[in-house]
Structure 1
Amino acid sequence: SFYYAMAIISACTIMFPRILFEVLVVNRNLAQQLWIPIAAITLAGFGAAFYIYKKRKGKKEETSLPLKNPLNFGTAIKFALFFAGVMLLVKYSSENFGDEGTYIAGAISGITDVDAITLSMAKTATAPETYPLAINTILLAALSNTLVKFCLVMALGSKSLLKTAAIGFAAVFLTGLGFFLFYLLR
């Protein structure tokens, strides 16, 4: 299960550089502000995966998994609809509830997907004074998504997998939470 834990943590961690790339494509100025927390979270996640690897190196275990085709046109349609819904949710939440509403929209949308809220925040953060809100909303969505993945490991994985993967999830989540609080309180 330590190979599975390494793979899960690595897959969850790669989400963060992907977020930065998406922001960079849409809003270079915001990406310049977001790269430090993203780099720290990425280092924490890959550092934890490397720690798991070093800790378990040389131990034998079963590693076969059935593979499926990840490409599906239906997925693209669902994403487009979800993205439109997130844009509406962010607009409604920010107009009616201010920054707190935007954070709520980020946390909710992050449960299933971080790309829609990331792109939405990158498009709407047009001035430096809006960057902290955008960064925090993106971080909150990513933390929400990470927490959901941890819950999936808790619900579907073995105790051994949970115990091993918890190291990586804790590293990623706590680093992200630290930056979220830093940007929130400054």
Structure 2
Amino acid sequence: MTDIEIFQRLGLALAIGLLVGLERGWHERQAREGERLAGVRTFAIVGLLGGVAAWLVPLAGGMLLAAVLLALAALLVAGYWVGLQRGGDIGITTEIALLLVFVLGAASVLGEMAPAAAAAVVLALLLSMKARLHGWVARIEKIELSAVLKLALISVVVLPIMPDRDLGPGGVLNPYELWWAVVLVAGLSFVGYAAIRLGGAERGMLLSGAFGGLASSTSTTLALARVVRVQPALAPQAAAGAVIAGSVTFLRILALTRVFQPALFAELLLPMAAMAGVGLLGAAVLHRRNAGRQDAGRGIAGIANPLELGAALSFGAVLAVILLGVHYLKLWLGSEGVFAAAALSGVTDVDALTISVSRLVGADLSVFHGAVAIFIAVSVNSVVKGGISWFAGTRGMGLRVLPIYLAAILCGGLVLALAGGGAAALI
């Protein structure tokens, strides 16, 4: 290690301490002199101490670094004890931050500089977000905490132990890929659900529609329609939110195909993007026409928590059934059988059909025919959501939603027919 590199690394150790110390100093800026456990200077010194201790490791051995860390920990314990005797704050955030700054200072010299710097930025950001994080935690309900733990269970515990081999008729059932699909869809759905819970009630129907499209555009449309049934005057805002939810579904299909079948993603990129563009443009027109009205729709109710284990298992079962159905229909009727399965699946769900077709493409189905099948499913699903807007909501909501969806279907169909495999060459 050259002298210049040593100075650079020690400088980073000092900068880490200064960054975190700046945040801690600002956080405790109202405290009188001598009441703060550590400020900018202390954090900067601790960061530099870690760097210097690590620099001396080749000369004095690793025990020096361990001894200095233990001595620092002992000082912090003593300071914490004195603070308790004085009736001070019983939190230990600053003490832990000091220890981490020392470790990051040492890592700046002994390891890669970029990860140490990134960890310091994350540390400072977490320290600065105390009020916001506590506010989020206060708004979390028990059922939502349970959902997070269930997501961790199905992704971290269950997924790795699933056998990764093809089973069943035609080898269409791969347990690992089936469960990976469950994890992916459940994760996307929970992101949308969490976004609605954290921000939807204050952002109105537009953001509720956008986030609801990640969770479930069909249930979002139904929830908005129920609101309109009670308050018909909200039909324009609800229609815009429902169309946004459907437009997000088009983009969600692209995300799923990007993961499960990149060739299919390339084929669907232009059609789905065109459909999403038409939908978002239509929603913007609806919103602009009613921009002067008071937004009485401060969020929506009726979006169920998507991470019940029963729901996850049900999706996996539906996916397996559709995989088998598509396989046998393809075997009996050829491509037309896949199209029939797509139309039936689109009545209730497009995710499972998208994943099923993605697995067939390249082996038993051409990329273009796979794209057509998914287009059929999403078209049927869009018409169903238009019907929900009309019959579960009001005629006014349906007359706003259906024309936009029909225009999106027409535009997507034209793009798919004209592109016909050319889009893949552009990717």
Q: 1:153-186: per-residue Cα shift (whole Å, max 9, x none)?
A: 12111122122223322222222333455578xx
Gaps of 5+ in 2: 1-234, 421-427
The more displaced of 64-73 and 24-33 is 64-73
Please report the TM-score for the alignment, with normalisation by the length of structure 2: 0.41
Please report the TM-score for the alignment, with normalisation by the length of structure 1: 0.90
How far apart, in 2, do the equivalents of 1:115 and 1:45 lie? 19
State the 1:62 CA deviation. 3.7
How far apart, in 1, do the equivalents of 2:358 and 2:252 lie? 13
Partner of 2:331: 95
> Any conservation in 2 of the 1:2–1:52 contact (CA below 8 Å)?
yes
Q: Which runs of structure 1 show a deviation greater than 6 angstroms over 4 or more consecutive aligned residues? A: none
- CA root-mean-square deviation: 2.1
Q: 1:41-99: per-residue Cα shift (whole Å, max 9, x none)?
A: 11011011011111222023642543554232221111111101100110111110111
How far apart, in 2, do the equivalents of 1:34 and 1:116 lie? 16
Q: Name the % identity.
A: 25
1:140-159 → structure 2 map (5 Å cutoff): 140-159=376-395
> Any conservation in 2 of the 1:24–1:31 contact (CA below 8 Å)?
yes
Confirm or deny that 1:86 pairs with 2:343.
no
Aligned length: 184
Q: Residues 113, 183 of structure 1: CA spacing in aligned structure 2 closer, same or farther, 3 A cutoff?
A: farther
Partner of 2:273: 39
1:36-115 → structure 2 map (5 Å cutoff): 36-60=270-294, 62-63=296-297, 65-71=300-306, 72-115=308-351
1:107-146 → structure 2 map (5 Å cutoff): 107-126=343-362, 130-146=366-382
Q: 2:405 aligns with which of 169, 175, 182?
A: 169
How far apart, in 2, do the equivalents of 1:36 and 1:169 lie? 17
* Largest Rg, 1 or 2: 2
Q: Secondary structure at the match of 2:305?
A: coil
Gaps of 5+ in 1: none
Q: Residues 66, 33 of structure 1: CA spacing in aligned structure 2 closer, same or farther, 3 A cutoff?
A: closer
The more displaced of 101-110 and 54-63 is 54-63
How far apart, in 1, do the equivalents of 2:343 and 2:287 lie? 31
How far apart, in 1, do the equivalents of 2:238 and 2:248 lie? 15
Q: Secondary structure at the match of 1:12?
A: helix
